Chain A
Amino acid sequence: MRAADHRELVVVGASLAGLRAARCLREQGFTGALTIVGDEPHPPYDRPPLSKRVLSAPGRPVRPELPVPNGLRARWLLGRAAVRLDPAARAVTLADGTRLTYDGLVVATGSTARGRPPGEPPLPPGVVTLRGWDDALALRAALTEGHPLVVVGAGFLGGEIAAAARERGLDVTLVEAASQPLEGALGATAGAYVAALHREAGIVLRTGTTVEGFLTGADGRLAGVHLGDGTTVAAGTAVLAWGGVPSTGWLAGSGLAVDGGVHCDPWLRVLRTDGSAVPDVVAAGDVVRVPQPLAGGARMALGHWTNAVEQGAAAAAALLAGQDPDGTPAPFRAVPSFWSDLHGARIRSVGLPGAADETRVVEHDLTGRRLEIAYHREGRLVGALTVGRTGRLASYRRALEEHLASGTV
């Protein structure tokens, strides 16, 4: 189907990836009807600040809204989750019963916070997760009470929440199952560096241990967290920062391949369980699970800001190109990148450090807040990470881009 053939396009997901896809559809010449569906009542906003300044900044918190371009001309259906997709009928059903038919569809439903493992007792009041604006406001209010905070999971999100709470003067304990924070994602050297940053800031970091249960007070609220080493840490609030789960529940029964995220081909066209592409359905952002050449072709979901932006644009292009063989764009081959700001250290990364089997430390200076690590897999560069040396990332990124373009990884 060519761009001119589309009359009605629907974007399910009103966050970064969905908004970017919508914007690019218009920029690439789509003039038909455009509907954007969002499960939250809020217009699009940016999530990275939710674990940073929204928690730590003084004064009234301001929702970090994403600008909606003037020429978007979209119909917004907010506060209504999509609950069902029927690809044969080309129809999406919303929670309030609204049925939307489409000529083309963008799936951009993102992810939700991984909560309590199934089968475990319900969580007491005071145990929370952070994903959306409402979560951030609730957590901010809890931090304002000043009680000790336990953060479970020392990944990017957990680390940033711990840092924001510490900035506000709270007693903070950060619990991590691995022997270093971010060890799986960034390796032991960067993990130890981040651990040192946390400890220097006064955070109590408990690695190599897990949460066994929650202690409650007479009022039923959280009073402490039991750890696997037999100790109990006092807590007024506990945040579970165990990562995200792609939001694919609404796609159950649609025939799409959705384990661990929506499976897509290299053009971000959504795949059925038999591996064939669904006509005129593409996906973008945290919900997507695509083969990652830098990780040896393993399917991965990347919950990063830049990934949502770049996939939003690429998915829009693929949707408008459709089945037209002359119009098929190049496969999506962007170099992943992500960042985290911890205790004044600007951690910046390109590629997939987590896919490496070897790390080469080029510079390591904790006091001067400098770090440069190159990550290799089977002798080839797959990623790089810096602190206070973002300028040096550009050449790594260029090398990765060349590897990806030439298909040598």
Chain B
Amino acid sequence: MQITVDMTLCESHGQCVFAAPEIFSFDDDDRLVHEASPPDALRDKAEKSAAVCPVRAITVSPASPPTAS
């Protein structure tokens, strides 16, 4: 699972931090930081975060398929 946040939209509402503290947090300047590839076990929480973001800055997408080696 991949999480992307459009930081040009983010207004630090914190709803994602409330919904999925394992993935999202704030730094000391109140700027959102997040785990880019959290484990799939957190998918429900990640999707809840995207659904409650007031500015719809969060996108959850499946992990990119493993590349053949």
Contacts and interface: CB of A to CB of B under 8 A. Distances in A.
A18 to B, nearest CB: 16
B54 A305 contact: yes
Contact of A389 (B11, B25, B30, B52): B30
Interface stretch (B15-23, B34-42, B59-67): B15-23
Contacts of B15: 306, 337
A239 to B, nearest CB: 23
B58 to A, nearest CB: 13
A391 B14 contact: yes
Interface string A300-314: 000001100110000
A388 B54 contact: no
A393 B17 CA distance: 9
Chain A, interface size category, equals 20 to 34
Given A339-B13, A390-B12, A306 B26 contact: no
Interface string A119-159: 00000000000000000000000000000000000000000
A391 B25 contact: yes
Interface in A331-358: 335, 337, 339, 341, 346, 348, 350
B21 A348 contact: no
Contacts of A310: 52
A346 B30 contact: yes
Contacts of A58: none
B14 A390 contact: yes
Contact of A348 (B12, B28, B52): B12
B21 A394 contact: yes
Contact of B30 (A306, A309, A337, A391): A391
Nearest to A67: B56
Most B Cβ at <10 Å: residue of A305, A350, A390, A397? A390
B14 A393 contact: yes
A371 B54 CA distance: 22
A390 B13 contact: yes
Contacts of B18: 335, 337, 350, 393-394, 397
B54 to A, nearest CB: 6
Interface string A33-53: 000000000000010100000
A394 B14 contact: yes
A346 B11 contact: yes
Closest 4 CB pairs of A and B: A391-B26, A390-B14, A390-B12, A394-B17
Interface of B: 11-15, 17-18, 21, 25-28, 30, 51-52, 54, 56
15 contacts: A46-B54, A48-B54, A67-B56, A306-B15, A335-B18, A337-B18, A339-B11, A341-B11, A388-B30, A390-B14, A390-B26, A391-B14, A391-B28, A393-B17, A394-B21
Interface of A: 46, 48, 67, 305-306, 309-310, 335, 337, 339, 341, 346, 348, 350, 388-391, 393-394, 397
